[in-house]
């Protein structure tokens, strides 16, 4: 799960998809490689709350400053190991029936002193969903993100336009424009009540096609 930027809704989609998988009896785990802005922000804890299960999510590293991970680590004197983050994500993938790895900010965010978020995404070699804003400006940001992923050999399963209301011409035309320009399926997720875990999972399950979550229902 990657985003075109920070704050676009990656955590909402991660929680919704993980909860959706849990509802179908699939042992799914959400993984946050590195969380900054702790304790105010804690995406793994949010996923746990939505799923009602402390085992539903894990975070490999937590840092206080609300900055890019590499910058937050430098500012606090912490050494972030790319190899440790990569091996931790791979271990989670191997140990779970299904794994949703949530990115940090956008693809070119400095992850460690030597690597960016896009490096982790490419090295994990998992199919990826792109989460983007719904309104004006998202065409460029989404196209650049999809292009960067494909350049690194990452399979883009689809794009989700978050907090979609269709209130403007830009919003109403963006899904088709993104599909046509990038040859990628697009789903739209309306604003959801993030305080209500069941409603959030319901909304994601209703808005996204089955293939976006990557695991078919038992018996399908």
For residue 186, say whether it is annotated as part of any ligand binding site: no
Instruction: Supply φ then ψ for residue 197, to 5 degrees.
Output: -60, -45
**What's the Cα-to-Cα distance from 78 to each of 64, 74, 140, rounded to whole Å?**
11, 6, 35
Check if 184 is active-site. no
For residue 163, say whether it is annotated as part of any ligand binding site: yes
- Single pTM value for the model: 0.95
For residue 33, say whether it is annotated as part of any ligand binding site: no
- Write out pLDDT tens, residues 13-51: 999 999 999 999 999 999 999 999 999 999 999 999 999
For residue 162, say whether it is annotated as part of any ligand binding site: yes
Q: How far apart are CA 32 and CA 47, in angstroms?
A: 10
Average pLDDT, the chain: 96
- Out of 22, 32, 115, 133, pick the active-site residue: 32
2-208 CATH: 3.40.50.300
> Who has greater pLDDT, 26 or 215?
26
- Write out pLDDT tens, residues 136-195: 999 999 999 999 999 999 999 999 999 999 999 999 999 999 999 999 999 999 999 999
Asked if 102 and 3 touch (Cβ cutoff 8 Å), the reply is no
């Amino acid at each position: 799960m990657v985003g075109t930027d920070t704050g676009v809704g990656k955590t909402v989609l991660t929680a919704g998809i993980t909860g959706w998988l849990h509802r179908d009896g699939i042992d799914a785990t959400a993984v946050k490689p590195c969380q900054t802005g702790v304790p105010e922000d804690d995406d793994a804890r949010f996923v746990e709350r939505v799923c009602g299960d402390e085992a539903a999510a894990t975070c490999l590293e937590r840092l206080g400053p609300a900055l890019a991970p590499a910058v937050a680590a430098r500012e606090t004197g912490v050494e972030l190991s790319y190899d440790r983050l990569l091996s931790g994500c791979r271990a989670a993938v191997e140990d779970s029936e299904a794994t949703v790895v949530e990115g940090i900010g956008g693809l070119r965010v400095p992850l460690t002193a030597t690597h960016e978020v896009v490096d982790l995404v490419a090295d994990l070699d998992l199919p990826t969903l792109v989460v983007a804003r719904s309104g004006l400006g998202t065409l460029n940001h989404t196209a650049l993100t999809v292009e960067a992923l494909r350049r690194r050999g990452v399979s883009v399963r689809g794009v989700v336009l978050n907090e979609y209301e269709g209130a403007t011409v830009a919003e109403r035309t963006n899904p088709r424009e993104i599909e046509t320009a990038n040859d990628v399926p697009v789903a739209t997720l309306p604003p959801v009540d993030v305080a209500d875990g069941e409603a959030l999972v319901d909304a994601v399950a209703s808005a996204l096609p089955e293939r976006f979550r990557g695991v078919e229902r038992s018996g399908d």
